[in-house]
Amino acid sequence: MPALIDMIDQGRKIPHHRPWARAVVHSDVWRFAASQLAETHWLLLGLWGDTHAVHMALLEEGSTGIGVISLECADGRFPSVGQTHPPALRLERTIRDLFGLEPTAGPDPRPWLDHGWWGLRYPLGARVGHPIEGYSYDFLPSEGESLHQIAVGPVHAGIIEPGHFRFTANGETVVRLEERLGYVHKGIEGLMAGADLTMAARLAGRTSGDSTVAYGIAFARAAEAALDIAPPPRAVWLRALMAEIERLANHVGDIGAICNDAAFALMHAHCAILRERVLRAANECFGHRLMRDRALPGGVATDLEASGIACLRALVVEFRRRFPALVDLYDNTASLQDRTVGTGVLQPTLARQYACGGYVGRASGRNFDARRMPGYPPYDSLRFEVPLLEAGDVNARVWVRIREVEQSLSLIEQILNQLPGGPICADVARSGAGPREGVALVEGFRGDILIWLRLGGDGKVERCHLRDPSWFQWPLLEAAVEGNIVADFPLCNKSFNCSYSGHDL
Amino acid sequence: MRKIFFESLIHGTLTEAPPSPDQAALTELGASLSRVVRRRIGRSLAIRQIDAGSCNGCELEIHALNNAFYDVERFGLRFVASPRHADVLLVTGPVTKNMREALERTYRATPDPKWVVAVGDCAVDGGVFAGSYACVGAVSAVVPVDLHIRGCPPSPLQLLKGLLALLEPGAAVEKA
For A253-271, the pLDDT digits (tens) are: 999 999 999 999 999 999 9
Nearest to A89 by CA among A505, A475, A499, A496: A475
Give the count of domains, chain A: 2
Q: What one-character DSSP code corresponds to residue B17? A: P
* B117 contacts on A by Cβ (under 8 Å): none
Query: Mind listing the pLDDT tens digit for each residue in A307-345?
Result: 999 999 999 999 999 999 999 999 999 999 999 999 999
The answer, yes or no, to whether residue A467 has pLDDT greater than 70, is yes
Tell me the C-alpha distance between A338 and A490, whole Å.
15
Q: What CATH number is given to the structural domain containing A390? A: 1.10.645.10
Q: Do A118 and B97 touch (CB under 8 A)?
A: yes
Question: Who wins on pLDDT, A475 or A158?
Answer: A475
Q: Do A203 and B128 touch (CB under 8 A)?
A: yes
The answer, yes or no, to whether residue A167 has pLDDT greater than 80, is yes
Q: Choose from B51, B108, B158 for mutation: most chain A CBs within 10 A.
A: B51
Is A160 inside any structural domain?
A: no
| Chain B nearest C-alpha distance from A24 (Å) | 30
Contacts of A303 (CB under 8 A, 6+ apart): A234, A238, A424
pLDDT of residue B173: 47
C-alpha B147, offset from chain centre? 9
Tell me the C-alpha distance between A373 and B169, whole Å.
59
Q: Do A290 and B153 touch (CB under 8 A)?
A: yes
What value does the mean pLDDT take over residues A279-286?
Answer: 97
Could you give the C-alpha distances from B75 to B15, B17, B85, B163, in angstroms and in order? 12, 11, 18, 10
* A500 contacts on B by Cβ (under 8 Å): 51, 56
Same domain? For A391 and A308 the reply is yes
Give the ranges where A153-211 is alpha helix by DSSP (H). Answer: 188-192, 197-204
Same domain? For A278 and A393 the reply is yes
Could you give the C-alpha distances from A92 to A10, A38, A100, A467, B86, in angstroms and in order? 24, 15, 10, 13, 40
Average pLDDT of chain A to the nearest whole number: 95
The residue of chain B with its CA nearest to that of A211 is B57
The secondary element (H helix, E strand) that includes residue A491 is: helix A489-496
- Report chain A's terminal Cα–Cα distance, integer Å: 36
Q: Do A209 and B55 touch (CB under 8 A)?
A: yes
Three-class SS of A267-322: HHHHHHHHHHHHHHHHHHHHCCCCCCCCEECCEECCCCCHHHHHHHHHHHHHHHHH
Tell me the C-alpha distance between A472 and A499, whole Å.
11
* B132 contacts on A by Cβ (under 8 Å): 186-188, 190-191
Domain that holds residue A221: 195-470
Q: Does B131 touch chain A (CB under 8 A)?
A: yes
What are residue B90's DSSP bridge partners?
B49, B117
Percent helix, strand, coil in chain B, to 5, is 45, 15, 45
* A157 contacts on B by Cβ (under 8 Å): 81-82
Question: Who wins on pLDDT, A435 or A386?
Answer: A386
How many helices and strands in chain B, by DSSP H and E?
A: 7, 5
Report how many Cβ contacts below 8 Å link chain A to chain B: 151
- Is residue A178 classed exposed, middle or buried when 0-12, 13-18 and 19+ CB atoms within 10 A define those classes? middle
CB < 8 Å from A in window 33-62 of B: 49-62
Is A501 inside any structural domain?
A: no
* A245 contacts on B by Cβ (under 8 Å): none
Neighbouring CB atoms inside 10 A of A19's CB total 17
Q: Does B6 touch chain A (CB under 8 A)?
A: no
Q: Do B64 and A279 touch (CB under 8 A)?
A: yes
Three-class SS of residue A353? helix
What value does the mean pLDDT take over residues A194-204?
Answer: 96
Is A274 inside any structural domain?
A: yes
Query: Mind listing the pLDDT tens digit for each residue in A338-349?
Result: 999 999 999 999
Contact A402, A433 (CB under 8 A): no
Tell me the C-alpha distance between A345 and A479, whole Å.
8
pLDDT of residue A8: 87
The answer, yes or no, to whether residue A432 has pLDDT greater than 70, is no
Same domain? For A99 and A229 the reply is no
- Which residue among B3, B62, B133 sits closest to A325, beta carbon to beta carbon? B3
Is A437 inside any structural domain?
A: yes
Q: How many residues does chain A have?
A: 505
Q: Do A207 and B55 touch (CB under 8 A)?
A: yes
What value does the mean pLDDT take over residues A362-382?
Answer: 95
pLDDT of residue A445: 97
Pairing of β A147-152 and β A164-170: antiparallel
Q: Do A333 and B1 touch (CB under 8 A)?
A: yes
Same domain? For A123 and A218 the reply is no
Same domain? For A121 and A264 the reply is no
What are residue A439's DSSP bridge partners?
A452
Q: Do B129 and A187 touch (CB under 8 A)?
A: yes
pLDDT of residue A435: 83
Same domain? For A269 and A354 the reply is yes
Q: Do B94 and A186 touch (CB under 8 A)?
A: yes
**Domain limit, last residue, from A127, A151, A186:** A127
Tell me the C-alpha distance between A452 and A457, whole Å.
17
Q: Choose from A156, A159, A270 for mutation: most chain B CBs within 10 A.
A: A159
Tell me the C-alpha distance between A376 and A389, whole Å.
24
Same domain? For A213 and A84 the reply is no
What value does the mean pLDDT take over residues A263-288?
Answer: 97
Q: Before A162, cis peptide (omega within 30)?
A: no
Three-class SS of residue B15? coil
Contact A309, A293 (CB under 8 A): no
**Domain limit, last residue, from A127, A156, A186:** A127
Same domain? For A92 and A213 the reply is no
pLDDT of residue A428: 85
The secondary element (H helix, E strand) that includes residue A417 is: helix A394-418
Same domain? For A111 and A248 the reply is no
- Which residue among A159, A202, A504 sits closest to B62, beta carbon to beta carbon? A159
Q: What angle do CA B129, B133, B136 make, to 5 degrees?
A: 65
- Is residue A263 classed exposed, middle or buried when 0-12, 13-18 and 19+ CB atoms within 10 A define those classes? exposed
Q: Does B152 touch chain A (CB under 8 A)?
A: yes
Same domain? For A122 and A224 the reply is no
pLDDT of residue A398: 98
- Report chain B's terminal Cα–Cα distance, integer Å: 49
Same domain? For A64 and A205 the reply is no
Is A348 inside any structural domain?
A: yes
* B58 contacts on A by Cβ (under 8 Å): 209
Same domain? For A339 and A451 the reply is yes
Is A156 inside any structural domain?
A: no
Rounded to whole angstroms, the maximal C-alpha distance in chain B is 56
Q: What one-character DSSP code corresponds to residue B22? A: P
pLDDT less than 50: residues of chain B: 32-33, 172-176
What value does the mean pLDDT take over residues A128-132?
Answer: 85
Contact B62, B90 (CB under 8 A): yes
The answer, yes or no, to whether residue A384 has pLDDT greater than 60, is yes
Is A71 inside any structural domain?
A: yes
Q: Choose from B62, B67, B69, B85 for mutation: most chain A CBs within 10 A.
A: B67
pTM for the predicted model, two decimal places: 0.95
Query: Mind listing the pLDDT tens digit for each residue in B24-41?
Result: 777 777 653 455 555 666
- Percent of chain A scored above 70 by pLDDT? 99
Question: Who wins on pLDDT, A105 or A80?
Answer: A80
* A276 contacts on B by Cβ (under 8 Å): 64, 67-69
Query: Rounded to 5 degrees, what are φ and ψ at A324?
Result: -60, -35
ipTM here: 0.94
pLDDT of residue B35: 52
Tell me the C-alpha distance between B154 and B145, whole Å.
17
* A182 contacts on B by Cβ (under 8 Å): 98
Is A504 inside any structural domain?
A: no
**Domain limit, last residue, from A112, A127, A142:** A127
| Chain A nearest C-alpha distance from B135 (Å) | 6
What value does the mean pLDDT take over residues A277-298?
Answer: 97
Q: Do A191 and B131 touch (CB under 8 A)?
A: yes
Q: What CATH number is given to the structural domain containing A105? A: 3.30.460.80
